[in-house]
Amino acid sequence: METGLSGKRAIVTAGANGIGRAISETLMAAGARVHICDVDEAQIAAARATLPGLGATLADVSDVAAVDRLFDEALDAMGGLDILVNNAGIAGPVAPVDKIDPEDWRRCIAVDLDGPFLCARRAVPAIREAGGGSIVNISSTAGLFGFPNRSPYAAAKWGVIGFTKTLAMELGPNGIRVNAICPGSVSGPRIDAVIAGAAKADGITEEAMRNIWLRQVSMRTFVEAQDIANMVLFICSDAGAKISGQALSVDGHTESLSA
Ligand SMILES: NC(=O)c1ccc[n+]([C@@H]2O[C@H](COP(=O)([O-])OP(=O)(O)OC[C@H]3O[C@@H](n4cnc5c(N)ncnc54)[C@H](O)[C@@H]3O)[C@@H](O)[C@H]2O)c1
C-alpha cells in the first residue's frame, strides 16, 4: 500500500510505551517524522534508543503549560504538523460509582478527555497551515457501550467520540480529517492490571474474569498494539483520504462490556 506518509510530521501523545509506541514505530516505518510526549522519562529514553530520529518532550497531556511546551518544541523541531494522534489515556478507578473518589474521577477525565482537547487546540492551526491532515483520537470499546465499574473511563471515552465527530464537522472544510479508534482489550500489563482490579471488585479469580472478558469478544481474542497502529496508519494514509468523523472499532467484534 502506498501510504503517502513519507515526510509527514506527526505528534503521538503517550508515545513512549504501549499502543503509542507501536503507532510511533509504524508511522516512522512509513517515512513520517514523529515527536512523542510521555510522563515517563525512562520510557522516553528507551523509545529514543530504539527509534533513532524520534523527537520527544516530557509532558503530561492534562497540563496546559506542558502541552504548550510539547507543541512549541515539536513544531520547532519538525517545522509544522500534519498528524496528531491523541493516544494518552489512563484506565481510571475500577469501582462502582458510590465508591469512586472525586479526585480519581477528575484525574481520569483530565487525562482522557481534557488531554485530547488541549492537544487539538494547539494542533489545529498547524495542520490547517499545512493544508490539511489528520487527527486520530484513541477512544475505546468503552466509548461505545456501558462499562460497569468503569464509569469515569466510559464517560471520558464516549466524550472522545463526541469530540471527534464535532471536530470532523468543524475541520472538514479545512481538509482536516478527524476519526476515533476504539480498541478492544489490548494484550499487555495494563489490561492484566485492569482485569485484576475487576476480579477483585467482583470477588472472583483473575482467570475467571479473563474468561468473562474473552467471552465478550466474538473472535475470543484480545488485540495487539500493532493492530491499533495498523488502523492509525490506514486512516492517516492516502488510502483513508475520504474517511472522517468515524469511530472505528479494532476489537475482534464486541457488542457489550457487561460481565
Ligand atoms: N490497553 C488497552 O487494553 C486499551 C483498550 C482500549 C483503549 N485503550 C486506550 O489506548 C490508549 C493507550 O493505552 P495503552 O494501553 O498503550 O496505555 P499504557 O497504560 O500502556 O501507557 C502508555 C504510555 O502512556 C503514558 N502516559 C500515562 N499518562 C500520561 C499522561 N497524562 N500524559 C502523557 N503520557 C501519559 C505512560 O507513561 C506510558 O508510557 C489510551 O487512551 C487507552 O485508554 C487501551
**Span 136-180, pLDDT tens digits:** 999 999 999 999 999 999 999 999 999 999 999 999 999 999 999
**133: region left, alpha or beta (phi > 0 left; psi from -120 to 50 alpha):** left
Tell me the C-alpha distance between 45 and 41, whole Å.
6
Ligand 1 centroid–CA 136 distance in Å is 14
- Using DSSP's 3-state secondary structure scheme, residue 229 falls into helix
Instruction: Report the separation in Å between the CA atom of 111 and the middle of ligand 1, taken as the mean of its atom positions.
Output: 10
Q: Report pLDDT digits (tens) over 116-125.
A: 999 999 999 9
Tell me what pLDDT residue 259 has.
61
Q: β-strands 33-38, 9-13: how paired?
A: parallel
Residue ranges around ligand 1 (CB below 6 Å)? 13-14, 16-20, 37-40, 43, 60-62, 87-90, 111, 138, 140, 183, 185-186, 190-191
Query: Is CATH 3.30.360.10 the right assignment for the domain spanning 9-185+224-250?
Result: no
Rg (CA), the chain: 18
Going from N- to C-terminal start, the domains of the chain cover: 9-185+224-250
CB 16 within 8 A of CB 45: no
Nine-digit cell string for 198: 475487576
Catalytic hit among 71, 147, 153, 222:
153
- DSSP secondary structure letter of residue 149: T
58 belongs to the catalytic site: no
What's the average model confidence in pLDDT over 32-40?
98
Q: Would you say 15 and 34 are in contact if contact means Cβ atoms under 8 Å apart?
A: yes
pTM of structure: 0.96
Measured in Å, residue 173 CA sits from the centre of ligand 1 at 31
Q: Kind of pairing, strands 247-250 and 83-86?
A: unpaired
